Structure 1
Amino acid sequence: QNTEPHTEPHVDVHTAAHTKFQWEAPGPYHVAYPRNYIFTLDEPDACREEDPFLVLIVPVAAKNLLARGAIRRTWGNESLVLGKTVRLFFLLGLPSGKGSERLQADVEKEREEHRDLLQSNFLDSYRNLTIKTMMMLEWVASRCRNASYAMKVDSDVFLNVQNLVKMLLDPKTPRQDYITGMMTRHSVVVRNPNSKWYMPVDVYPDATYPPYPLGMGYVFSTDLPQKLVDVSRRIRPLYIEDVHIAMCLKQLGIVPTDPPSRSLFKAYMPSRFNRCHYAAVITTILDGPARLLQYWSDLQKPAPPC
């Protein structure tokens, strides 16, 4: 559970004149996002030096070294695509629990070797994914505004970078106020307390969420992060990170863009390996790093896509 202080302190109106502001814990369905986190591991000059067209950012737990390794050996290794420079970064929070100090030391060694790790000083946990997303946006806004596009992509996702760049180079693709992915519209708010995505009525009263791309992977123009960061100051963050982005977009009056084809962004992989599927999509969720390595190896073989 998140333990960071919230920026909206609760004050008893009867004693406010005689006491200091007291912090009110945000509770399990709100997220404390005080906007004063820092990057303890950073690559501040990477975008300026390489001038990428596209920046890929993978939120991942510090302990998930296998996922990072598989991505570096597969789609994350594609640095020049259709003549455009692509740059990969992994975004981590702080590890916790037994062995966290040793794990942090390993992360810092990994950073020295690969120069693709970003880390901020919040606790890495499911409930803090919204904080992680906002820190990603802050980093893009401050470090990579010269890039044309950025993408948040989960560590369990197969990404066809060729198809992604091809879509972004299409003259019909917007250059500003743009965000797309696997779109969901009129998503019903879950009221079952036993659900992972439970949202109480007193936290979010509406029956449906605004439209948004699913958090597994969405791409956006780099003018958008600063706008989202700024407008988030008027919204109390929720723990469901893609829903929080949806609320920010609604506040900005920006409607997410549908991809050129709904078949480009897929949630789950076919039950059997299908070369045609992976040659045609942009994203598909896989069931582990070993599967990514296996499928990527097959796709690199000199054979027709189908």
Structure 2
Amino acid sequence: MVYASKKTQNNTQKILLFHGRNISTQFESYYINASAGELMDPFIHQHRYKLLINQHLKCKGKNVFLLVFVHMAPGNFAGRNLIRSTFGTVFSFHSKRIEYVFVLGKTENVTLQQEIEHESERYMDIIQGNFIDSYRNLTYKLVFSLFWVNNFCNNAKFVIKMDDDIIVNIPLVVPYLAEKVKAGQASNVLECKTITENIPVRERNNKWFITPEEYPFTKFLPYCAGHSSIMSIDVVRKMYRASKNVPHLWLEDVYGSGFLSLLLKLNMLMPKFYFDPVISSLYGKPCSLFYLNILKNDTNSLVMWNTITRYKKRLNCSI
């Protein structure tokens, strides 16, 4: 996204361009003029998060190049173990430190909570907030992640936010980000699969139903697909602060990379090699930063990671 000025007869009007397309500034005015009553959510606006499980030493005293935080359901033990056995085994690449955390909300199942606490004691890679973990609370989880990074890992250079259906191509991601540092381009980074023409769903029986009261516009602004994004640490800090002033929307991808990045005037980019589906990439040269395992097939994830590790010492992709 870029901002430009358009001269009219009486004044200069600021417009927002995305790939040359004019986006209505009504949205910006609507949210900038939000009333105090719309900014009272205890989690989104007041940041009253409590850590049920924390890893306060995860980044302390370490030169963390990349932090990967994974949004995951509390009961998805298999998904966490799959990541721990694939790209989550790589804590250093080209002398760059990588850390991982799994981000969970609260469960009211006592037995499940005890199992999570035992898992956390063993692996020391889980953080858990005091909000109910549910699909409609994903924005709480996003802002909680920003809260945690801001308070406990703000020494990282870059942050990857991802869901549990993503495989990170660490041997490509780390050199790619290192080149940004070398070129002096390690700030204001927000890269993802951009969604540019989506519209709100108004059918009540649909999973993504959203009322006109929740979102009064006929189109969504450009935003990042929720499965993954790359941010420089300054973007994480800015988004965390900005969340206090933006009305809540439960669609976390629209809220985070759409609402917040617009009001922060961030340029959202999608590299041409950003991601590919796992199913069509299992045995070829792995030249994408991320692989989306939309079927959540564990075997495919293992095969994909084996392909990545097989190529890692001779991976020569044009990035």
Q: Which TM bucket (shorter chain)? A: 0.7 to 0.9
What are the residue-to-residue correspondences of 1:31-180 with 2, within 5 Å? 34-96=46-108, 100-171=109-180, 174-180=185-191
**Normalised TM-score (structure 2):** 0.78
In the alignment, structure 1 residue 242 sits paired with structure 2 residue 253:
yes
Q: TM-score under structure 1 normalisation?
A: 0.81
Greater displacement, 201-210 / 246-255: 201-210
1:276 maps to what in 2?
Answer: 284
Residues 128-185 of structure 1: CA deviation (Å, up to 9, x unaligned): 0000000001111111111100111111111111211122122457322221111122
Change (3 A) 1:300 1:168: closer
Code of the aligned partner of 1:226: R
Aligned to 1:4: none
Paired with 2:58 and 2:213, the residues of 1 have a C-alpha distance of 43
Check the 8 A contact 1:275/1:305 in 2, yes or no: no
Partners of 1:95 and 1:33 in 2: CA distance: 22
Q: CA deviation at 1:228?
A: 1.2
- Conserved? CA contact 2:47–2:147, under 8 Å: no
Change (3 A) 1:302 1:132: closer
Q: CA, structure 1 residues 297+146, in 2 after alignment: closer, same or farther (shift >3 Å)? A: same
Query: Alignment partner for residue 208 of structure 1, among 219, 229, 238?
Result: 219
**Amino acid in the other structure paired with 1:69:** N
Say if 1:189 and 1:207, in contact at 8 Å, map to a contact too: yes
- Any conservation in 2 of the 1:52–1:87 contact (CA below 8 Å)? yes
Identical aligned residues as a percent: 25
- Name the counterpart of 2:202: 191
Change (3 A) 1:302 1:227: closer
**1:291 CA displacement:** 2.7
- Distance 1:234-1:301 versus aligned 2 partners, 3 A rule: closer
Note closer, same or farther for the CA distance 1:276–1:173 as it changes in structure 2 (3 Å cut): farther
Check the 8 A contact 1:79/1:86 in 2, yes or no: yes
1:182 aligned to 2:193? yes
- 8 Å contact from structure 1 (residues 52, 86) kept in 2: yes
Which residue is equivalent to 2:233? Answer: 222
1:92 deviation in Å? 0.8
The residue type equivalent to 1:265 in the other structure is F
Letter in 2 for 1:295: M
Secondary structure of residue in 2 paired with 1:276: coil
Please tell me whether the aligned partners of residues 161 and 230 of structure 2 are also in contact (alpha carbons under 8 angstroms). yes
For 1:280-299, list aligned pairs within 5 A.
Answer: 280-286=287-293, 287-299=296-308
Three-state SS of the structure 2 residue aligned to 1:132 is helix
Q: How far 1:81 moved relative to its partner?
A: 1.4
Runs of 4+ in 1 over 6 A off after TM superposition: 302-306
For residue 220 of structure 1, give the secondary structure of its aligned residue in structure 2: strand
- Structure with the largest fraction of strand: 2
- Across the aligned residues of Structure 1 and Structure 2, the Cα RMSD in angstroms comes to 2.6
Give yes or no for contact 1:70–1:290 (8 Å, CA) kept in 2: no
Q: What is the CA–CA distance in structure 1 between the aligned matches of 2:308 and 2:223, rounded to whole Å?
A: 31
Aligned amino acid, residue 291 of structure 2: T
Distance 1:226 1:54 in 2: 15
Q: CA deviation at 1:33?
A: 5.7
Residue 16 of structure 1: aligned partner: none
| Structure 2 unmatched ranges of 5 or more | 1-34
Q: Secondary structure at the match of 2:100?
A: strand
For structure 1, which runs of at least 5 residues remain unmatched after alignment?
1-6, 11-23
What residue is the counterpart of 1:21 in the other structure?
A: none
Count residues in correspondence: 274
Change in Cα spacing, 1:113 to 1:165, as seen in structure 2 (3 Å) is same
Distance of aligned partners of 1:73 and 1:191 in 2 relative to their CA distance in 1, 3 Å threshold: same
